[in-house]
Amino acid sequence: MFPAIESLAMTFPTLLADKNADFWFPIQGSSFAEEVDWVYDLILYISLAFFVPMMVFMVWCLFKYIKARGTKAESQLSHHTTLELTWSIGPSVLLVWMFVQGSISFLDMRSPPEGSYDIGLQAFKWGWTMDYGNGTFHPELHIVKDEPTKLSMRSTDVIHSVFIPAFRVKKDVVPGRYNYMWFKPTIASEQISAEQLAKLKKQNEGTTWDYDKVHTIETEDGEKEVQVTPEGYTFFDLYCAEYCGTNHSEMQTVVVVHETQADLDAWIKANSSRGEVSMEEWGELLYGRRGCSGCHSVDGSKLVGPTFKDVYGSQHGLTTGENQIVDENYVRESILAPKAKVVAGYQPVMPSYKGQLSDDDIASIIAYLKSISANAPSQPAAAQAEPEAESAE
């Protein structure tokens, strides 16, 4: 890059708030990044090699040939065929080079190697679910360094687009078909120590975890600024790049790159089931993780879907005109077949979670809904043995 531009960039520290980026690009996080940046730089230099002389020539003409009104021009030359053919054909050669170079790199990006690590990706309004197999789903994309990774992508509603700037990749996720993309990450995420994470968690107690927040942590070499996941990993951003409605700009998630396959397997195992956590806590986690929070508030405000606040045990009017008590069976049906009984005043837009949530997951979500509802027959902390009583009603 140009030294002048770089020094200019240094004088604007805020410009470089993203510590890992240079002036033009995010950090080079995949094997494609270097090649794409190289092609970009070459086009940039070729463009400047045309642009600068042309503009210098134009300004020079302005100074040189500005004449008093009424002065005749020095020349009335109307054409010069050789010159015109030269500047028509000459640049074409460079264009052919750009096209060829861009296409070669593109073909690489379109051909996933045999045996790539395959992760399912499902896009919906407005969130992501990655499918790690064996019933493990998570909104964050976790992959392994230097391991070619292939995403098999589908959308349940409208067109979305997966964009990971650090990897220089982008692909639309089109409903009604599978789209694929692949990449090989080259930089592993760091993980801050358990004590530091505990400290950060304490500082942010009572709020939802903000991925964008820059935390200052103390290390052996002094202070360091990091953005981390709730598990303490640094990450790359993953954006939705195809406009998809209300919360398009909030449809973001993160990519965490593990050093080894064993690390990733450990992480998958830790996230595959509820483990020791209580059902309410697990339900709350799933509420955030599986995209419920994009459409259903817990503070009573109306989003795309009905709020979850006090929803359990309340009466809903349906679009069919009937009334429905929100009980276990209704919640379960709404998760697995959301279009069967739609609440009046809302669109039938929710995707089905059939095959994506285990029975334990659904039960946990129900437990969570009960815990935040004043209409629930009993407070969860007070009595654990109530469910039988309810189903008997």
Partner 1 sequence: MSNATLPAGARDPGYPTERENYLTNSSGILSWMFTLDHKRIGMMYLIGVVSAFAIGGLLALAIRLHLLKPDGLLFTGAEGNNIYNQVFTLHGAIMVFLFIIPSIPAALGNFLVPVMLGAKDVGFPRLNLSSFYLWVFGALFFVSALFSSGLDTGWTFYTPYSTTTDTSVILATLGAFILGFSSIFTGLNFIVTINTMRPPGMTWFKMPLFLWATYATSIIQVLATPVLGITLLLLIAERTMHIGIFDPEFNGDPVTYQHFFWFYSHPAVYIMILPAFGIISELISVHSHKHIFGYRFIAYSSIAIALLGFLVWGHHMFTAGMSSLTTIVFSALTFTVSVPSAIKVFNWLATMYRGSISLTTPMCYAISFIFLFTIGGLTGLFLGTLATDLHLHDTYFVVAHFHYVMVGGTLIAFLGGVFHWWPKMVGKLYNETHGRIASLLVFLGFNGTFLPQFVLGSRGMPRRYATYDPEFAFLHQLSTFGALLLGIGLLYAFIVLMVSLAKGRRAPANPWGGVTLEWQCTSPPPYYNFERPPVVGDPYDFHNLEWDAENERYVMTEPERKLVPESTPDEVPAHAGGQE
Contact between 73 and partner 1 per CB under 8 A = yes
Other CB atoms within a 10 A radius of the CB of residue 370 amount to 25
By CB under 8 A, the residues from 3 to 62 that bind partner 1 are 12, 14-15, 17-18, 21, 23-26, 32, 35-36, 39-40, 43-44, 46-47, 50-51, 54-55, 57-58, 61-62
Contact between 302 and partner 1 per CB under 8 A = yes
Burial readout 355-366 (b: 16 or more C-beta within 10 A, e: otherwise): ebbeeebbbbbb
Comparing CB distances to partner 1, the nearer of 211 and 330 is 211
Single out the residue of 191, 168, 169, 194 nearest to residue 180, CA to CA: 169
Contact between 174 and partner 1 per CB under 8 A = yes
By CB under 8 A, the residues from 350 to 369 that bind partner 1 are none
Single out the residue of 366, 390, 368 nearest to residue 377, CA to CA: 390
Q: How far is the CB of 166 from partner 1 (least distance, A)?
A: 8
Q: Which of 3, 4, 72, 315 binds partner 1 (CB under 8 A)?
A: 72
Q: What is the DSSP letter of 16?
A: G
Binding mask 115-154 for partner 1 (x = CB under 8 A): ----------------------------------------
Contact between 392 and partner 1 per CB under 8 A = no
Q: Which of 139, 175, 288, 338 binds partner 1 (CB under 8 A)?
A: 175
C-alpha dihedral (355, 360, 364, 365), degrees to nearest 10: 10
Q: Which of 98, 337, 344, 374 binds partner 1 (CB under 8 A)?
A: 98
Contact between 340 and partner 1 per CB under 8 A = no
Contact between 179 and partner 1 per CB under 8 A = yes
Q: In this structure, are residues 304 and 342 in contact, taking their beta carbons and an 8 Å threshold?
A: no
Comparing CB distances to partner 1, the nearer of 214 and 383 is 214
Distance CA 155, CA 139 (A): 14
Q: What is the H or E stretch that residue 119 is in?
A: strand 117-124
Which residue type does 197 have? Answer: L
Distance CA 193, CA 199 (A): 10
Q: In this structure, are residues 192 and 223 in contact, taking their beta carbons and an 8 Å threshold?
A: no
Residue 124 pairs in a beta bridge with 127
Contact between 237 and partner 1 per CB under 8 A = yes
Structure tokens at 236: 């790359």
By CB under 8 A, the residues from 248 to 267 that bind partner 1 are 248-250, 252
Q: How far is the CB of 271 from partner 1 (least distance, A)?
A: 25
Give the total of residues touching partner 1 (CB under 8 A). 99
Q: Which of 1, 2, 177, 340 binds partner 1 (CB under 8 A)?
A: 177
Q: Which of 245, 317, 345, 355 binds partner 1 (CB under 8 A)?
A: 245
Distance CA 2, CA 21 (A): 15
Q: In this structure, are residues 361 and 297 in contact, taking their beta carbons and an 8 Å threshold?
A: no
Q: How far is the CB of 4 from partner 1 (least distance, A)?
A: 15
Length of the chain, in residues: 393
Contact between 241 and partner 1 per CB under 8 A = yes
Distance CA 200, CA 181 (A): 35
Q: Which of 1, 8, 10, 95 binds partner 1 (CB under 8 A)?
A: 95
Burial of 274 (0-12, 13-18, 19+ CB in 10 A): middle
By CB under 8 A, the residues from 154 to 173 that bind partner 1 are 157-159, 161, 163, 165-166, 168-172
By CB under 8 A, the residues from 193 to 232 that bind partner 1 are 212, 214
Q: How far is the CB of 283 from partner 1 (least distance, A)?
A: 24
Comparing CB distances to partner 1, the nearer of 159 and 343 is 159
- If you write DSSP's letter for every residue of 205-219 in order, what string do you get? TTS---TTPPEEEEE
Q: Which of 7, 11, 71, 216 binds partner 1 (CB under 8 A)?
A: 71
Map residue 375 onto helix, strand or coil.
Answer: coil
